[in-house]
Amino acid sequence: MRQLIILLFIGLAITVSSCREDFVFEPSTGDLAFSRDTVYLDTVFTNIGSSTYTLKVYNKSSKDIKIPTIQLGKGLNSKYRMTVDGMIGENNRIFRDVELLAKDSMFIFIEVTSDVADANPTDFLYTDQIQFDSGANLQQVELVTLIQDAYFIFPNRENGIYDTIPIGFDEDNNVVETRGRNLSNNHPDNGDEFNFNTDKPYVVYGYASVPNGETLTIPGGARVHFHAESGIVVQAGATLKVEGGISSTAALENEVIFEGDRLEPGFSDVPGQWGTIYLRQGSTNHSIKNLTIKNAIIGLLVENNFGTTMTIENTQIYNSSNVGLLARAAKIEGKNMVINNAGEASLACTLGGNYEFKHCTFNNNWPSSRQVAVLLNNYFELENGSTEVFPLNQADFKNCIIYGSNNFELNIDKDDTQTFNFNFSKCLVKFGTSTLQLYAFIYADENNIRRNRNPKFLDVQKNKLNIGDDSAAKGFGININVPNDILGNPRSGVFDLGAYNSIVFPSN
């Protein structure tokens, strides 16, 4: 028995000794390998945190090593911060005696929050390095970020409570509010917020509200970025004017662009990043020219615009998680509009109204069996089971394309107890086979409606809805006094459907 106990102690000692030898870490000799030699963090706005970027560090040797220091070159003063294999070190900037097993690797996650004043004044780049060890064993990975200055619009906060603005009423007729603030004629940082500038972009947190009696004017070349759950609300008695122009270069120098505040390429086409542009009931005299709206929940929400006609020209709305243009009992005249991809409908004209669309392209390739390109509706079902019905006095589509990935891309949702007037003239419509009399007009005259003919867009996934020389939309239209296409090219002699004149696509 005594001999057995002695043997157990000897075995335990050998095991412990063996484990210790397995984890003897030698000093690093400067032979680390990296997944990249420079980490480029995409453009960020001043004082707005970046996304998280990854660097992988490899120990390709057969020895367990200990790295004496991993730190940012600017030390605790750096605007970058990082974690090393889940460790936070000294204020996420300095790490000591970091162990790395033989033939193993570790992850470093990097972020940055910097002011434009910290960047190089000539190129607005903010740089630093991740330094591994020092002296003869020093290895470095460069960090580079472009810092962009901006005008910031955000709600004030007092005692932890943010300003709010009205956005509607609940079922009990109580005012519903959301986080935001009214724009100002003389803001201490932004100046006149009712007349946007073009020298730097705008970044909106919460909802920017245009109060009664005011007009928000956004000139050509303006760029407006919205944070999550943000947007613009134009209140009753207020007006929105977007005054973009035709651009001559790929920089879209005269276009107005509304999009999210995530500038990384991976977010360039991600739907639902921000809220909406909401033109409330009673707002009036709106006009929009040469505007692109990207990646909203609802691109443009228009309610009963006080009897005036809202004009929308040369405007594109892309990748809306709900609806591209949602109109409720509104009055809209649209020319050269392109709306592509939305979770429910690219264009939804609901609760009646008055609409005329000329040379517009409505497409929806959202991956759903229920999405449509165009929805027309004249009623609303209340929670108590009753129905409110509204007159659809006019819904005219002329020289338009209505297409998408489903068999039926046009949904006419009609209550027969109220006026429902619609007309499709010289249109291409994606619509399968139906015996419903409501859709008989689609089958009635091939010279007026081209059904299920492919417009052959250039690249739907990249929102390039140009049509080619072999498109079914080529030459099918008539002259309806829209002299130029969305790019400013003249229409003469041959009138193509949709917003674009047909072109010969470049060969691959």
- The C-alpha atoms of residue 72 and residue 84 are separated, in whole angstroms, by 12
Same domain, 142 and 210: no
Q: Last residue of some domain: 123, 148, 173? A: 148
The predicted model gives 475-497 an average pLDDT of 96
Please give the pLDDT value at position 23.
Answer: 62
Q: Is residue 487 part of a domain?
A: no
- The C-alpha atoms of residue 248 and residue 245 are separated, in whole angstroms, by 10
Q: Is residue 19 part of a domain?
A: no
Please state the length of the chain.
508
Same domain, 333 and 281: yes
Question: What confidence category does residue 19 fall into, taking pLDDT thresholds of 50, 70 and 90?
Answer: very low
Report residue 133 as tokens.
């060890």
DSSP 109-160: EEEE---GGGS-TTT-EEEEEEEES-GGG-EEEEEEEEEE--EEE---EETT
- The C-alpha atoms of residue 95 and residue 69 are separated, in whole angstroms, by 6
Q: Is residue 9 part of a domain?
A: no
Q: Is residue 499 part of a domain?
A: no
Residues in Cβ contact with 200 at an 8 Å cutoff, skipping those fewer than 6 apart? 148, 149, 150, 151
Please give the pLDDT value at position 22.
Answer: 54
Same domain, 207 and 328: yes
Residues in Cβ contact with 473 at an 8 Å cutoff, skipping those fewer than 6 apart? 401, 428, 450, 453, 455, 467, 496, 497, 498, 502
Q: Can you give the residue range of the structural domain that contains 84?
A: 26-148
- The C-alpha atoms of residue 453 and residue 414 are separated, in whole angstroms, by 26
Please give the pLDDT value at position 172.
Answer: 77
The predicted model gives 366-383 an average pLDDT of 94
Q: Is residue 445 part of a domain?
A: yes
Count of structural domains, the chain:
2
Please give the pLDDT value at position 220.
Answer: 98
Same domain, 221 and 322: yes
Same domain, 220 and 96: no
- Render pLDDT for 111-131 as a digit per residue (tens, 0 to 9): 999 999 999 988 899 999 999
Report the chain's terminal Cα–Cα distance, integer Å. Answer: 84
Q: Last residue of some domain: 97, 122, 148? A: 148
Residue 55's CATH number: 2.60.40.1510
Same domain, 55 and 78: yes
Q: What's 195's DSSP letter?
A: B
Reading across the β-sheet that carries 80-84, which strands appear in turn? 33-34, 53-59, 104-112, 80-84
Decide if pLDDT at 503 tops 60.
Answer: yes
Q: Is residue 500 part of a domain?
A: no
Same domain, 109 and 165: no
Same domain, 329 and 213: yes
Same domain, 227 and 123: no
Same domain, 127 and 179: no
What percent of the chain is predicted at pLDDT more than 90?
A: 84
Q: Is residue 17 part of a domain?
A: no
The predicted model gives 226-238 an average pLDDT of 96
Same domain, 444 and 301: yes
Decide if pLDDT at 14 tops 60.
Answer: no
Residues 98/92, Cβ–Cβ less than 8 Å: no
Q: Last residue of some domain: 125, 148, 171? A: 148
**pTM as predicted:** 0.88
Q: Is residue 386 part of a domain?
A: yes
Please give the pLDDT value at position 490.
Answer: 97
Same domain, 428 and 345: yes
